Amino acid sequence: MLEIIIAAAVVGGVGILIGIFLGVSAEKFKVEVDEKEIKVREALPGNNCGGCGFAGCDALAKAIAVGEAKVNACPVGGEPVAAAIAAILGVEAEEGQRLTAYVKCSGTCDKTKEMYIYSGVETCEAMMYMQNTGKKVCTFGCMGYGSCVKACEFDAIHIVDGIAVVDEEKCKACGKCVATCPKHLIELVPYKAPVKVACNSNDKGAVVKKGCETGCIGCMLCTKQCETGAITVTNNLAHIDYDKCTGCGKCAEKCPVKVIKITGKVSEGDAAEE
């Protein structure tokens, strides 16, 4: 019995000593955390998506607290979170431009041609190792196997009629689909973009027509219609400078293959005011 008591006393004593040691060590080596950083972290949504350019919400909170990132750096939180963080830091929230992901392809099943029937692993990454980087004749367009869909945490992108389509109301512009697409045909564009080019092909017009009915043929008719120089053709593909675009829609009206899409979000009058 005495042996049991001694053993219990030794174990208890060691436990007390370890507890004291850990308590002293924690106090001595503790890292001071800025209270503002803690509050900023609490204001962030906690998705840890990396869309802000930092390793996660903790890293972003620290960067905002020390002034290395803007209060509106979180694409998921948007204006409400930016306003909350600005109030915490005692600064004014900067007005940011809302962005959304956009898939630069309009090659739906009825518009594109296929080279062969594929049966195998259905991921976009796997298709990049197949003949012609996929069964479609066009090597630049969406393969439709949904790697971007799996990457999206917000259910904002789906495969519709053979191509990925973004639900702009759900999209948080985190950029995960952009990073995932092996053909780099998803980009972040202004939510209010009045027109968009629904193609990613750099092939010449004759080659494009062989594989897709609605691909950009690089004819440059759009550039001749634009009075502000907002649209240019590089490597056989039209590109829009949204800082110059007024949303007049003339480029889309003149496009012979209708690959330039009018969104209808910004009228000509609104665009002129902006």
Q: Where do the structural domains in the chain lie, given as residue ranges?
A: 1-30, 35-89, 99-186, 192-274
User: Could you say which architecture CATH assigns to the domain 99-186?
Assistant: 2-Layer Sandwich (3.30)
Least confident of 30-39, 116-125, 190-199: 30-39
User: Could you say which architecture CATH assigns to the domain 35-89?
Assistant: Orthogonal Bundle (1.10)
- Cross-strand pairs, 186: 103
Query: CB-side exposure of 207: number of CA atoms within 13 Å?
Result: 12
User: In this predicted model, what pLDDT tens digit does every residue of 42-89 receive, in sequence order?
Assistant: 999 888 888 888 888 999 999 999 889 888 889 888 888 989 999 998
What pairing do the DSSP bridges indicate for beta strands 237-240 and 186-190?
unpaired
User: Could you say which architecture CATH assigns to the domain 192-274?
Assistant: 2-Layer Sandwich (3.30)
For residue 191 the two structure tokens come to 């939510």
| CB-CB contact of 71 with 85 (8 Å) | yes
- The whole-number pLDDT of residue 33 equals 63
Neighbours of 140 (CB within 10 A): 24
20 CB contacts (<8 Å, ≥6 apart)?
none
User: What size, in residues, is the chain?
Assistant: 274
Mean pLDDT of 204-226: 95
- Give start and end residues of each alpha helix (H) in 30-49: 35-43
**CA distances (Å), 230 to each of 7, 100, 250, in order?**
83, 20, 11
Looking at the chain, which runs of residues are DSSP E strands?
99-103, 157-160, 163-166, 186-190, 195-197, 231-234, 237-240, 260-262
What is the percent of the chain with per-residue pLDDT over 70, rounded to a whole number? Answer: 93
d(CA 30, CA 35): 15
Same fold, 99-186 and 192-274: yes
| CB-CB contact of 146 with 124 (8 Å) | yes
pLDDT band at 270 (very low <50, low <70, confident <90, very high): very low
pLDDT at 140 over 90: yes
Looking at 67-113, which runs of residues are DSSP E strands?
99-103
- The whole-number pLDDT of residue 238 equals 97
pLDDT at 25 over 50: yes
Least confident of 88-102, 104-118, 162-176: 88-102
d(CA 271, CA 274): 5
pLDDT band at 274 (very low <50, low <70, confident <90, very high): very low
Helix (H, G, I), strand (E, B) or coil at 229: coil
129 CB contacts (<8 Å, ≥6 apart)?
none
Residue 240 phi, psi (nearest 5) = -115, 130
Nearest to 126 by CA among 147, 103, 104: 147
**CA distances (Å), 266 to each of 46, 145, 147, 247, 262, in order?**
32, 32, 31, 7, 9
| CB-CB contact of 123 with 145 (8 Å) | yes
For residue 43 the two structure tokens come to 């204001």
